[in-house]
Amino acid sequence: MYHLKFIDQHGSFQMKQPENTSYLYFPLASETGLKSSVTPKLGGDAKIDQETFLLEPVSSENLHNNRSSRNFWLLKNDRDVYSAAGASAEQESAQFSAMQDESELTAGFMWHTLKRSSRIHQLSSTVTSFIPKDCNAEIMYITVQNHSESMQDLTAYAAIPIYGRSADNIRDHRNVTSMLHRINSNNHGVLVCPTMSFDEKGHRPNKHIYYVMGCTGNSNMPKSFYPTVEDFIGEGGNFTHPRAVYEQYPGHPAPIHTAGKEAMGAFRFETISLAPGEKADYILLIGVEDSEKAILSLFEKYNTTDKVKKAFSDTKTYWQEQVKVSLHTSEPDFDHLMKWICFQPFLRRLFGCSFLPYHDYGRGGRGWRDLWQDCLSLLLMNPESVRCMITMNYGGVRIDGTNATIIGNGDGNFLADRNGIARVWMDHALWPLMTTKLYIDQTGDIEILNKQISYFKDAQTMRGTEIDALWHPEQGSKQRTSGNDIYTGSILEHLLIQQLTAFYEVGDHNIYRLRGADWNDALDMAPEHGESVAFTCAYAGNLLDLAAMIRLLNRHSSTHTIELLEEIAVLLENDMDTFDDISQKHKILSDYLSRCRHRISGRCINISLSALAVNLIQKANWLMEHLRVQEWLDIPGEEGWFNSYYDNHGRAVEGLFEDHVRMMLTGQVFAIMSGVAEDNQIKKITKSADRYLYRQEIGGYRLNTDFHELKFDMGRMFGFAYGEKENGAVFSHMTVMYANALYRRGFVKEGWKALKTLADTALDFDTSHIYPGLPEYFRSDGRGMYQYLTGAASWFMMTMITEVFGVRGEAGNLILYPKLQTCQFDTDGTASITAPFAGKNFTVIYKNETFKDFGDYIIDSASCDGNELSINEDAFVNIPRKMLTALSDDMHTIIVNLL
C-alpha cells in the first residue's frame, strides 16, 4: 500500500497524485435521495434518480473522456490561470512531468477532500466535497492559499455544467431537451427549471429546479454570471480552456433570464488580494429542489464558513456512527479495510445497483436478490430496525412462488422486472429464507413467521410462463381471492410456497430448472433445458433450515399447527417415489399453478407443524442423496468436485475434457454450504479449486476455468473475454460465499485463504487500483472492477463476525465460538471485535497467549464486565437472551481466554 495510507480508526485514507490512476471515483450521498460520484479531477455526476440528473451522467470511460467537471478557476494577476480541480489545458499537459501539480486526496465515509499545490503559480487549494445527510445538496468548500513571497490578485470562477434532465436524453434528443431549459440567476447562483420531462411515450410537466449557488466564506455574493455553456466557454473554447476565464469575459449581472441552451452554473467573484501565506475560502452548493424558496432556505443554512464546517463535522460523525463494527487483528490495514467493507452495504441501500460509473445499467432500485442480501449486514448492526423491512419485502412474493424482481424507492414498492424484460431467476426464492433465519437467530423473534402478508400480483402467472389475461392494472398489485378480497398469508406460508414450487420445477435430470438465470445473471441462454445443480444444492440446505425454523416455532406454539392456503396441500406430497418421477413432479406443480392462475380460493387448512418439518426433511434428504450420486465428479489424483449446471442441450458443463478442465466455483460453494458435500469430498474440492481456479496475484479463486467455447447454449458470460466479469474473473461475492461455506463446515484454514487473498489484493493498490473496499470482481490483471456496490461486502462482513470471530445469534441467544487462527492475533496474542447484539454494544476480546491455532485451543474461561460466563463443551459461550436484555446500554466487555 505504498500509494495509499489509512489515517484514523474510521478508515479515512490519504493518497498522493490520485489523478495519475485511471477509473477512480468516490461515492457521496444523502439519506434523502441525492447520489454523486466524484473523481480526482472533480468529474463524475450527481443525480436523484434516472429521470433527475443534475450533472451529466457518466460511465467509466467518461471519467477520462469528459472535460466536464465541478471546476473552480483562479485568474492570477489578470494573466495566469489555475484550476483547483487540475482540469485546465496547461495543468493536464504538465501531468507526468516535473511541473505537474502536487496533489493529495483525503477521504472518508461520504466526504472527499482534494488538495492541490502548484509550483508554477505558487498557489494551493483544497476542495472538500460532501452531502449533508438530510438534504439534496452537494457542498463544495474551497480554500485558496498564496505560497509566494508577494501579494497575489486572484479572481475566482465557479464553473459547473448543469445537465438537468433524464439520463435517457444523453442519446435521445440531447439538443432538443436543452431547448426546454429555463435558466435564471439570482444574486448567488444559476437555477435551471426545464419546462417538461421529455419522453415521446408521454411528456410530463417538470417541477424540479437544478441549481449551482455560491458565495465567499463570509457570504459575499458573486459579481457576475455565465448562465449557459456558450457564455462560459466562448466560441471555439472548451471546459479546460474557457474563454470567459482566459479572456476575462465580464459576464452578466443578476438577475438573468435566458432559455433553450445548455445551462452552466458559472459565476465570477470579486477580485481579492492575498498576502503571502494568506487564505481565502468559497462555498458552492449544487443540488435539486422543487422551489426557489427551498433553494434559498438551504443556501441560508450553509452560506458561511462556520456553517459549512459544522455541517461537514456532523456529516462525518453521522456516517461513522452508522458503522458499528470494528476489528482488531494482527494487521491494522485489514482492520481499516473492514471499516469500508462494513460501510458498503449502506452505499448499496442508497445507490441500489446503479448510479456509479461502472454501474451504468438499470434505472435505479435494487434487485430482489440484492435487497435480501443487503439485509444481512443490517441484521448484524441493527436487527430490530430490519423487521419491518423484511415483512414488507415478503409482499413481493407471488402466489406461484416467483417474485417481483425490482424494488423501487421505499419499502414495499415492487416492480415486475428490469427494463421491461420479464424473467424468472431460479435462485430468488433462496435469499428470503437465508435472511429470515439470520433475523430469527439474531433476535429470537420466531413469531415473525406468523406475520400476515399479502402476495404480489401482476400479469405474470404460471411461474412466468404465461400471461393472466384476466388481470388488469386497475385491480391492483395484490393477490385477491375468488371473493375479490386481498389475501394474506403468514410469512411461513410465503416461504413454503417459494421452496415447494421450486422443488417440483425440475428439468431432465431432476435438478431445479435454470429458467432465466440464477445468481449468475450471465447464465441466461438456457431457459428450456438448463438446470442449476449449484442452487439445487442450496435449496436442499434451505429445506433443512426451514424445517429447523418450523420446529423452533412449534416449541413456542400453543396450537402446534399452522394455517395454510388450501391449494398448498398438493405441494406437500411425501411419497418418495414421486420425488424420482419427473413427470409426476411436473403434474403436481401444474396442478397447483392452475389453481392459482388468476385468483385463489382464500380457504385455509390447518397443518401440524411437526409433520410439516418432517415433510421438508424428507424432501431435503432425497435431494442431497440424489445430488451426491448423480453430480459428483471423481477426478484421479485425489481431486473431485460437483458439476454445477446442465446447458440448454441437457449436457453437464463440467469435468475433464480432451484438452482442458472445466470447473466452476458456484457448484462447490453451495454443495459445501448446504451439507450436500461430505467432509472427504470437501477436501477434494478445495484441492481441485486450488489447482484449477486459484490465482493469488489477482485476488484468489476465479469463478470458472476457461471453457474455450462461446457456449450459446449456456449464457452471455462465455462471450466475455476470459478473466472479465462472470467469465473467469475473481468474483468477490462467490469467493466470499466459498469462504463462508468452508468456515461453516470447519475448514477454517481454507476459508481464511479465500478471504485473505481478496483483502490483500484490494489493499495492494499497485494491483487493484481502487480506493479501499471490495470490488465486484478482480479482472485477469488484478484490477478491481465495479467498486462499492457489491453484495460481497455483506457476506464478507457476516463471515468475519459470525464465523471468524464467532459472534453470532442462535434463536436470540449470543454464541461465542471463535475460529481465529494464530496469524490473526497481535503480538500480545489478542484479537477483538466491537459489534452490537440484542440492542447492546459489546467488545469481545479473545486472548490467545499460547498462540495456538484453531482446532488446538479450547475456551478456558470467559467473563462479561468481570462476571464469569459458563462455557459449553470447552468450545463456545452461550449467553441467554434474558441476561443480554438485563444489561445496561453502556459498552460491555467480554473477555474470552483461550488455552
Confidence class for position 200, pLDDT limits 50, 70, 90: confident
Residue 10 lies in a domain: no
**Which residues does 620 contact at the CB level (< 8 Å), separation at least 6?**
540, 541, 543, 544, 547
Look at residue 421 in the predicted model and tell me its pLDDT.
66
Tell me what the mean pLDDT of segment 61-78 comes to: 96
93, 132: one domain: yes
219, 297: one domain: yes
For the beta sheet containing 784-787, the strands, ordered from the edge strand earlier in sequence to the opposite edge, are 730-731, 775-778, 784-787
Lowest mean pLDDT among 99-103, 417-421, 795-799: 417-421
- Closest by CA position to 625, among listed 701, 540, 560: 540
3-state SS, 780-836, equals CCCCEEEECCCCHHHHHHHHHHHHHCCEEEECCEEEECCCCCHHHCCCCCEEEEEEE
Tell me what the mean pLDDT of segment 15-42 comes to: 98
Lowest mean pLDDT among 76-80, 121-125, 198-202: 198-202
Residue 421 lies in a domain: yes
Look at residue 201 in the predicted model and tell me its pLDDT.
78
Residue 603 lies in a domain: yes
**Residue 32: which domain range?**
22-322
Residue 397 lies in a domain: yes
Tell me what the mean pLDDT of segment 15-41 comes to: 98
Q: What SS3 state is found at 130?
A: strand
668, 733: one domain: yes
CA atoms within 13 A on the CB side of 716: 7
Q: pLDDT tens across 505-527, in order?
A: 999 999 999 999 999 999 999 99
Question: Beta-carbon neighbour count of residue 525 at 10 Å?
Answer: 21
Tell me what the mean pLDDT of segment 583-603 comes to: 98
Q: pLDDT tens across 274-299, in order?
A: 999 999 999 999 999 999 999 999 99
Question: Beta-carbon neighbour count of residue 188 at 10 Å?
Answer: 25
The CA-atom distances, in angstroms, between 768 and each of 110, 183, 468 are 21, 43, 49
Residues facing 415 on adjacent strands: 406
Tell whether the model's pLDDT for residue 339 goes beyond 70: yes
Tell me what the mean pLDDT of segment 723-727 comes to: 97
Residue 618 lies in a domain: no
Of 771, 803, 835, the domain-final residue: 803
49, 149: one domain: yes
708, 748: one domain: yes
Give the torsion sign (CA, 17, 19, 24, 28).
positive
Confidence class for position 418, pLDDT limits 50, 70, 90: low
Residue 445 lies in a domain: yes
Look at residue 383 in the predicted model and tell me its pLDDT.
81
pTM, two decimal places: 0.96
Within 382-429, residue ranges assigned H as helices are 387-393
Tell whether the model's pLDDT for residue 411 goes beyond 60: no
Look at residue 410 in the predicted model and tell me its pLDDT.
58
| 517 burial via Cβ count (<10 Å: 0-12, 13-18, 19+) | buried
671, 798: one domain: yes
Tell me what the mean pLDDT of segment 147-169 comes to: 97
Lowest mean pLDDT among 36-45, 346-355, 714-723: 346-355
821, 844: one domain: yes
651, 724: one domain: yes
Tell whether the model's pLDDT for residue 664 goes beyond 90: yes
Dihedral, CA atoms, 467, 472, 476, 480, nearest 10 degrees? -60
Confidence class for position 1, pLDDT limits 50, 70, 90: very low
73, 126: one domain: yes
536, 660: one domain: no
Instruction: Specify the CATH number for the domain of residue 857.
Output: 2.60.420.10
Of 803, 822, 844, the domain-final residue: 803
732, 597: one domain: no
User: 68 and 43 in contact (C-beta within 8 Å)?
Assistant: yes
| 484 burial via Cβ count (<10 Å: 0-12, 13-18, 19+) | exposed
CA atoms within 13 A on the CB side of 782: 20
Of 322, 354, 389, the domain-final residue: 322
Q: pLDDT tens across 598-636, in order?
A: 999 999 999 999 999 999 999 999 999 999 999 999 998
Tell whether the model's pLDDT for residue 764 goes beyond 70: yes
Name the one residue in this structure whose C-alpha cell is 443578476. Answer: 254
Q: What CA–CA distance (Å, rounded) separates 867 from 878?
A: 14
Q: What CA–CA distance (Å, rounded) separates 640 from 190?
A: 66
Mean per-residue pLDDT over the chain, rounded: 96
Lowest mean pLDDT among 194-208, 424-438, 587-601, 619-633: 194-208
Instruction: Specify the CATH number for the domain of residue 790.
Output: 1.50.10.10
Enter the C-alpha cell of residue 381: 448492526
DSSP secondary structure letter of residue 18: G
Look at residue 376 in the predicted model and tell me its pLDDT.
92
Consecutive H or E run containing 318: helix 305-322
Look at residue 342 in the predicted model and tell me its pLDDT.
97
Domain count, the chain: 4
Q: What CA–CA distance (Å, rounded) separates 824 from 801?
A: 14
| 892 burial via Cβ count (<10 Å: 0-12, 13-18, 19+) | middle
Confidence class for position 703, pLDDT limits 50, 70, 90: very high
307, 393: one domain: no
Residue 349 lies in a domain: no
Tell whether the model's pLDDT for residue 880 goes beyond 70: yes
Look at residue 406 in the predicted model and tell me its pLDDT.
75
Residue 542 lies in a domain: yes
Look at residue 420 in the predicted model and tell me its pLDDT.
58
Tell whether the model's pLDDT for residue 572 goes beyond 70: yes
Tell whether the model's pLDDT for residue 746 goes beyond 90: yes
Residues facing 327 on adjacent strands: 833
